Amino acid sequence: MNRSLSTLTGRSRKLDGGAMFGGTPRRAWIEWMSPDYDNQVEMASRALLVQQEDLNILVMAGTDALLAPPPRTCHCQPQAQGLLDSLARRGLGEGQIHAVLLTHLHAVLPPDVQEAIQDGNAPRLLFPVARYLTGRRQWLRARHPHPRDRALFVPQIVRQLEGSGRLKLLDEQCSDFLGKGWRFHVSDGYTPGQLLPEIDMPGGPIVFAGDLVPALHWLRLDLTSAFDRNPECLIDEKERLLDHLVANGGRLFLPRDPGVAMIKVMRDRQSRYQPFDHHADLNRLDS
């Protein structure tokens, strides 16, 4: 099957550095990412565009960028570039996306989108003809969230997905709609039922890392965040996935790293995972 991969970049998001780096002391992680005066670090919002046969498939970590940007109320400053702008640079409009694969349903929304929702003007879902694919167990979690992560599920997004008539729930297996060359790694450590797709490519498989390994620094097994539901489980899942990539010459797609989109992984003599063959961007990586 002919297949090409490209990166799409949405609006970056800021998260509390202490929450992102969990139990790692601040004096250590500020050498990796510089926080602002509010102790926030800037993380990317990177999606993967998979083009195969006659399908355009978008893979996204969470639902941060799934809502349409609200209308601008002030034109005195340039508008932040978002996912639709990145898609347009690839020559596509939102109506040309056939499927949106959501690894999970958490969302950290931009301030203007949060404000619109609070005012009762929740923006519509993007991609009006696409099927929305996500894991069945993650969907059940979103419908009935635990108090521990309730704030990360946005009810307005969940309701719109349910009412779209285009939601398809996956049972942690390959999807007939996606076709051959797709499989899923199941991760419960960050949120129950997160599905991380592995895509066959001639140079080795590519795994979309979701929020299991969101950025380069999370290659460290002991590095977890305050957002993780089960850190010990997450560490075990991370090790299994990275060992799988090392053994199969695979590559890892990083949705949150500010500067790196894709890497290969090796294990050094101290059994630490190390990145190499960095790619800042993918422009129709072909099969």
Counts for the chain of helices (H) and strands (E), in that order: 7, 15
| 41: containing domain | 3-286
- What average pLDDT does range 28-38 have in this prediction? 93
pLDDT of residue 250: 96
**Pick from 109, 60, 20: which is nearest to 255 by CA?**
60
The model's pLDDT over 257-267, given as tens digits with 9 standing for 90+, comes to 999 999 999 99
* Total domains in the fold of the chain: 1
pLDDT band for position 69 (50/70/90)? Answer: confident
**Pick from 144, 162, 110, 132: which is nearest to 59 by CA?**
132
Q: Is the pLDDT of residue 77 over 60?
A: no
* CATH classification of the domain holding 20: 3.60.15.10
| Whole-structure pTM value | 0.94
- How far is the C-alpha of 189 from the C-alpha of 227, rounded, in Å? 10
Average pLDDT, the chain: 93
- What average pLDDT does range 205-216 have in this prediction? 97
- How far is the C-alpha of 135 from the C-alpha of 131, rounded, in Å? 13
